[in-house]
Amino acid sequence: MTATAPDLAIRAWRDLDPQARHLPGMSLGSLPVTARDREADRLWDLGVRHAELDAPVDLSADDRAVHRRTVDRLCLVRDLTARAVSVDWDLRLSPRDSAHQWKVLSHLQPPRTLTGLDDAEEALHAWRTRHYLCKLVWRQGPGFVQIRDRRWGDLRRFTAVEPHYREAIALLGPGVHHTEVPADVLEEFAAEHLLLRVGELAWWLPYRVSRWLQEAMAV
């Protein structure tokens, strides 16, 4: 991953239950987070089962430095969601974007607050009540990459065997300048809402699974 924003940190606990988090030994305090691959695995190994982001995820800002910090925090939410770690985070969308942009992010743990939309409360309620794990996932098999997407209510499945798709996913995972990814691949992924543009950065939306939480046909 790219270098982390200097102020990226989380508050962490060993349990996701709000009452249990007040028990002695449950708090892990404030933890610095580096924007690197497998950071969620490191936090899991430390015992993190609930995390609170240090600042809102702001998709309405025009500042490049904010874009990088935004993507770093989205990476953390995505990868903790893949680990079934609950996350308290706040999201601000831009009124310039589609009113359904929240659906693009609806595979992530629902945010604590959602602002920037006229129907923000309704959207947040829908997000919370319709969310489940493995809503948008990808996995790498022997010689192929498969993506399964249920954000829109049905199952949409994409399988790619060409190596340049795997190479593009590796680049997009932490968020990268859009010119670093082949334009045709970027266009295909964008058409299927598999990436998010944050300023000049392009970021990979699906999270990776190594095993299904349910039978594969159910997911």
The string of DSSP letters for 59-87 reads SS---HHHHHHHHHHHHHHHHHHHTT-EE
At 154, which amino acid appears?
A: D
Q: 196 with 205: CB under 8 angstroms?
A: yes
Per residue of the chain (219 residues), give pLDDT as tens: 344 444 689 999 999 999 999 999 999 999 999 876 789 999 999 999 999 999 999 999 999 989 999 999 999 999 999 999 999 999 999 877 766 889 999 999 999 999 999 889 999 999 999 999 999 999 988 889 999 999 999 999 999 999 999 999 999 999 999 999 999 999 999 999 999 999 999 999 999 975 555 555 444
The owner of tokens 């305090």 is 29
Q: What is Dmax (Cα atoms) for the chain?
A: 53
Q: Judge whether 79 and 37 are in contact, CB under 8 Å.
A: no
Report d(CA 43, CA 23) in Å as an integer. Answer: 20
Q: Is the dihedral of CA 31, 83, 115, 206 positive or negative?
A: positive
Reference 9, options 34, 37, 40; nearest CA is 34
Domain boundaries, the chain: 9-130, 136-208
